Amino acid sequence: MANRKLSFWDMFNLSFGFFGVQIAYALQSANISRIFATLGADPHQLSFFWILPPLMGMIVQPLIGKFSDKTWNKMGRRKPYLLIGAIIAVLVMILLPNAGSLGLSTSYVLLGLNSAMWFGLFALIFLDTSINVAMQPFKMMVGDMVTEEQKTQAYSIQSFLCNAGQLVGCLAPFLLTSIGVANEAPEGVIPDSVIYSFYAGAVILILCVVYTFMKVKEMPPKEYAEFHGIDLDAPKEEGGGNLFKLLVKAPKTFWQVGLVQFFCWAAFLYMWNYSPGTIAANCWNTTDTASADYQAAGNWVGVVFAFQAVGAVLWALVLPKFKTVKLGYIVSLLIGAAGFASLLFLHDKYAICVSYTLIGMAWAAMLAYPFTLLTNALEGNPYMGSYLGLFNCTICLPQIVAAATGGAVLHLLGSAQPRMMLMAGIFLVAAACCVPLVNTKKSTN
């Protein structure tokens, strides 16, 4: 790799748009279960609303990586995709929280879902897909433009912006409520505090993405090849860009980190899905989604998710202190597991802030380690974007599995949503046990 070091602000500009994208992602994660519960979804149905978005991600992300690997134009290589994804996300963020306000019939039911829920479901599919389209290019651009020596710093900056965006997105409904925006609404209608949070998030998202789009100049093909030590005159391997063939030839690190990712993302799917019900049941003693207490618990979800983000930001400063990546990974995941397990026993809304802070430590490791390990293993590979798109499947697949089986698991656990948090903790313990299997040496594949 050529010696082409970037300044701090170069790396900051490279990832600044990620701040806006993460606000959108945090609003989705913190409010989707609340939105669908308000629209009338049964708790056993909630997990099914999370199946289609990651399924779309599994289809779209490898294609975005494959196409962007071959995209070289005046706009850039990855930048056109992040701009398109952001524009679609903004449009959907305006529509989704209005699912209960469009006059859709709640009496018409198809496959157990009323019209408002069907509208919200398709809006959610497009939102999650567009967010991922906008999000993935930021990870690819770091792999494209940053030296191996600077990648840890670059991904740390990206992680900081990610968690800062999560902090803003999670707190938005709570903060708007505190200044007088209505947090209650007629039955089946999303409160204004949530609706206006999505509107504000949409504005910030497009402004941040446009900033990165304007500030970052991607390398032309010859400069990119020199930077990565790629011989443009070398004969191209027939079918080299075929996603299935690339998957077969993926470095061992791809699969090993993917196994860790499987358990991690299944755990966090449970957190996003069942936090509103867990907090409402344990801290507000209610399961009535139409009650003011349930909506108050919904706002508190944003608060505890903000504590998760703070825990992640602070823990990210500690991670470089560990002697080895594996040790930092294992310790972080076990701390997160303890945070999840504690939610089964705590009934004070302030005490659970500590639990979510511990969970944030695991989240920091999930953001810091996987892409650093993988992009280092892929150094000099001309299909890095395709591999990063395929690697997104290790994020999407566990969410699909967890969502598809969540209702059955909840039933087996006596329909008590706090017990799902204990299961999430068990998943993180399993992830920690898989970390020693990861090969941290540079791949020769």
- Distance from C-alpha of 229 to C-alpha of 4, rounded to nearest angstrom: 12
Structure tokens at 358: 């511990």
Provide mean pLDDT across the span 111-131: 76
Whether the per-residue pLDDT at 176 is higher than 70: the answer is yes
* Domain tally, the chain: 1
Whether residue 176 is contained in a domain is answered as yes
pLDDT, greater one: 368 or 197: 197
Domain that holds residue 41: 8-229+248-437
How far apart CA 60 and CA 113 sit, in angstroms, is 26
Inform me whether the pLDDT recorded for 243 exceeds 90: no
> Which one, of 375, 381, 274, lies nearest residue 44 by Cα?
274
The pLDDT, as a whole number, for residue 208 is 94
Band of residue 239 on the pLDDT scale cut at 50, 70, 90: very low
Is 236 a domain residue? no
Closest CA to 445 of 250, 170, 238, 161: 250
Which residues does residue 114 pair with via DSSP β-bridges, in sequence order? 109
- The answer to whether residue 350 sits within a structural domain is yes
Residue 40: phi, psi to the nearest 5? Answer: 115, 10
Residue 295 to residues 42, 124, 160, 186, 346, Cα–Cα distance (Å): 16, 20, 29, 12, 20
The answer, yes or no, to whether residue 371 has pLDDT greater than 60, is: yes
Cα(220)–Cα(201) distance, integer angstroms:
33
Residue 234 lies in a domain: no
Tell me the C-alpha distance between 397 and 392, whole Å. Answer: 9
pLDDT number for residue 228? 72
Strand (E) or helix (H) holding 264: helix 252-283
What's the confidence (pLDDT) of residue 120? 74
Whole-number average pLDDT of the chain: 83
Mean pLDDT of 161-174: 85
C-alpha 62/C-alpha 136 separation (Å) is: 10
Nearest to 41 by CA among 286, 287, 267: 287
| pLDDT at 83 > cutoff 80 | yes
At 316, the pLDDT band (50, 70, 90 cuts) reads confident
With 60 as the cut, is the pLDDT of residue 107 above it?
A: no
> How confident is the model at residue 286, as a pLDDT?
86
- Residues 414-445 pLDDT 10s: 888 899 999 999 999 999 999 998 876 655 44
Mean pLDDT for 12-35 is 85
Cα–Cα distance between 131 and 209 in angstroms, integer?
12
Tokens of 264: 């991690």
Three-class DSSP category at 229: coil
Longest dimension (CA), the chain: 68
H/E element holding 113? strand 113-114
DSSP letter, residue 235: P
For residue 249, pLDDT beyond 60: yes
CATH number at residue 404: 1.20.1250.20
In a domain, 51, yes or no: yes
| Residue 3 covered by a domain | no
Give a yes or no: residue 2 inside a domain.
no
* Residue at 142 is within a domain: yes
**CA-closest candidate to residue 39, choices 91, 105, 83:** 105
**Integer Cα distance of 215 and 210 in angstroms:** 9
Q: Are 225 and 232 in contact (CB under 8 A)?
A: yes
217: alpha, beta or left, given left = phi > 0 and alpha = psi -120 to 50?
beta
Encode 26-60: b = buried (16+ Cβ within 10 Å), e = exposed. bbbbbbbbbbbbbbbbebebbbbbbbbbbbbbbeb
